[in-house]
Structure 1
Amino acid sequence: MIALGIDIGGTKIAGGIVDDNGSLLDVEYRATDASKGKDYVLEGIDELITELCSRCKPDAIGIGSAGRIDVDSGSVYYATSNLPNWTGLNLKRHIEDRHGIPTIVDNDVNTAGIGEMWLGAGKNEQSTVCVTLGTGIAAAVFVDGKIVRGGRWSAGEIGHMILYPGGRPCNCGQRGCFEQYGSGTALYRSYNERRGEEAIASGRQFFELLATGDIAARDTLDAFISDLAVAFISLANVYDPDLFIVGGGLIDTKEWWWERLERHIREQANPAVASMKLVPAAFKNQAGMLGAAKLGFEYVAELNASK
């Protein structure tokens, strides 16, 4: 069998042709350009799918999209302004109407987690929390080998658990969310707050300053690691996973914080969770496409079984 795995991110749409052994046979990319509106983003997705379909005849399409996704209906239950007017969109219906291929849609972090559980760092595990640390923060939660999506499709939205009550405002409408302290965006914003000026505009610039021995950058990283440790300890007490799989853009900088994070956890956690394991994600940009394709295979199998 062949499936298309589509990964819709805030800046890039990635699409892959995947066989049922998990081999990624071909890849195509489009810029998301979400600021141009919903219709523009959908047009880019349609163009990408049409291009991939010219190279193969897929049995299914699996899609991972930012937002809280109603997997049963294939619609977007809720999305932030990162994808304007995405809330309420029935993405499954849109794709099936235009391409005539069975389609299933899930949250993009969930599809990345499914990819890691299928072929990556979680391949031989049953209970994991797959955490994405990047521009934002989210997780895919697996218990006894099954993904947990929640009653309102919001399980795993760990970036919006409140770390500091009344703290920094978040685009979800709350204040003090974990995402405002433990993400790549939070790193450079925290640095600017510490300096009292808009000194830098990216995580890359932050780590460049850190490499020079910048004191404000060092202090910012100390607070960042402390906040990560608190969050991981709390999550371990809630989910008790076999391990945490950590991915996202910040994993590329782990030489600066990984060992210190593990040490903070060992020193601060109660004995029941102090020995928790953290492992880097095996896949980076490919996990979402692989996981989305895996969902597509499972969806077609369910359709065939119901006939």
Structure 2
Amino acid sequence: MKVIGVDIGGTKILGGLIDERGNLLEETLVYTKAHLGREKILENLFIAIDKLIDKDVKGIGIGSAGRINFKEGIVEYATDNLPGWTGCNLKQLLEDRYKIPVIADNDVNAAVIGEIWQGAGRGYKDIVMIAIGTGVGGAIVYNGEVIRGGSWSAGEIGHMILYPKGRQCNCGQRGCLEQYVSGTAIARTYSEVSKEKKIAGAEEVFLLAEKGDKMALEIVNDFVNSLSIAILSLKNLLDPEIFIIGGGVIGAKRVWWDKLKKTLENRASITPAQLENKATMVGAAKLIIDYLSKNN
């Protein structure tokens, strides 16, 4: 069986042709150009799928940023990272166009499914995944099943209130985790504190920390402390076997991973994601493979 798995993000759309054993047969990347709105996002999604589709493809799995109605394949809510995406019925649009079954889910839900199938989640049934990139996403797995919630927003770890009356978040709340541990927050904090030096991204802060920059080291320590508070709170609430930590910031784990483990003092088990930027694509493929297996 061959299927297509797609990861729709604010910057890029990553698609893969994948078989039922998880082998990646072909891959493509198309820039989302999300600032141009829904029609441009869909146009580029179609371009990505068209590059991979052939008569042997049996279905399409989608992992998209936003709050996704898993039953109906509708984007219930998306931030301004994907303008106009709220209300988009991905399942219907793609099934009408390609005449094959389609499944759509939140991108981090798909990512944790990918990690369970082919990565760091193998062998575990109770998992919390934290994806730290531009923002902070999450997914919760209990007894082998993804918990999606009554309004499809379970796992929105980035919007846990970490520090009441803290930084303003774009969700309307103050003090959300995302405002302290995301790549955006790390870069912004350094720029604010230094006043003179503008930072392009979190990776630059981590590089400065490696070189002994005191300000960068302090920001990395604050990042670790804030993340550890969130992990321990989630451990007390959900008691997962393992926390899988992924997203773009994991690429700099050489700088902060050991600090995090030491801060946690063995009170929670953590592991880095293994599939890196392919986790959502692989997990989306697994979702449609499972759907086809149950319905054929």
TM-score range with shorter-chain normalisation? over 0.9
Taking the aligned partners of 1:27 and 1:204, their CA distance within structure 2 comes to 26
SS at the partner of 1:217?
A: helix
Q: Which amino acid aligns with 1:66?
A: A
Taking the aligned partners of 1:279 and 1:182, their CA distance within structure 2 comes to 17
Q: Which amino acid aligns with 1:188?
A: A
Taking the aligned partners of 1:201 and 1:243, their CA distance within structure 2 comes to 32
Q: Which amino acid aligns with 1:139?
A: G
CA contact (8 A) 2:114 2:280 kept: yes
Taking the aligned partners of 2:197 and 2:290, their CA distance within structure 1 comes to 48
SS at the partner of 2:111?
A: helix
Shift of 1:197: 4.5
SS at the partner of 1:4?
A: strand
Q: How do 1:146-295 residues align onto structure 2 when only pairs under 5 Å count?
A: 146-197=145-196, 199-266=198-265, 274-295=266-287
Taking the aligned partners of 1:159 and 1:295, their CA distance within structure 2 comes to 24
- Offset from partner CA, 1:105-135 (integer Å, 9 cap, x none): 0001111100001121111111011111111
Residue 303 (structure 1) aligned with residue 282 (structure 2): no
Q: Which runs of 5+ in 2 are unaligned?
A: none
Q: Which amino acid aligns with 1:257?
A: W
Q: How do 1:21-60 residues align onto structure 2 when only pairs under 5 Å count?
A: 21-54=21-54, 57-60=56-59
Shift of 1:198: 5.7
Partner residue, 1:126: 125
SS at the partner of 1:286?
A: helix
Taking the aligned partners of 1:80 and 1:280, their CA distance within structure 2 comes to 26
Shift of 1:46: 0.8
Q: Which runs of 5+ in 1 are unaligned?
A: 267-273
SS at the partner of 2:165?
A: coil
Shift of 1:170: 1.4
Shift of 1:49: 1.0
Partner residue, 2:5: 5
CA RMSD of aligned residues (A): 1.2
Residue 17 (structure 1) aligned with residue 17 (structure 2): yes
Q: Which amino acid aligns with 2:123?
A: N
CA 1:186–1:150: 2 relative to 1, 3 Å: same
Shift of 1:32: 0.7
Amino-acid identity (%)? 49
Shift of 1:288: 1.1
Shift of 1:47: 1.4
Taking the aligned partners of 1:25 and 1:173, their CA distance within structure 2 comes to 42
Partner residue, 1:113: 112
Taking the aligned partners of 1:147 and 1:126, their CA distance within structure 2 comes to 10
CA contact (8 A) 2:17 2:26 kept: yes
Partner residue, 2:85: 86
Partner residue, 2:140: 141
Taking the aligned partners of 2:260 and 2:51, their CA distance within structure 1 comes to 43
Choose 181-190 or 193-202, whichever is displaced more: 193-202
CA 1:87–1:197: 2 relative to 1, 3 Å: farther
Taking the aligned partners of 1:124 and 1:260, their CA distance within structure 2 comes to 26
* TM-score, structure 1 normalization: 0.93
Q: Which amino acid aligns with 1:159?
A: G
Q: Which amino acid aligns with 2:129?
A: C
CA contact (8 A) 2:38 2:84 kept: yes
Q: Which amino acid aligns with 1:176?
A: G
Taking the aligned partners of 1:262 and 1:138, their CA distance within structure 2 comes to 20
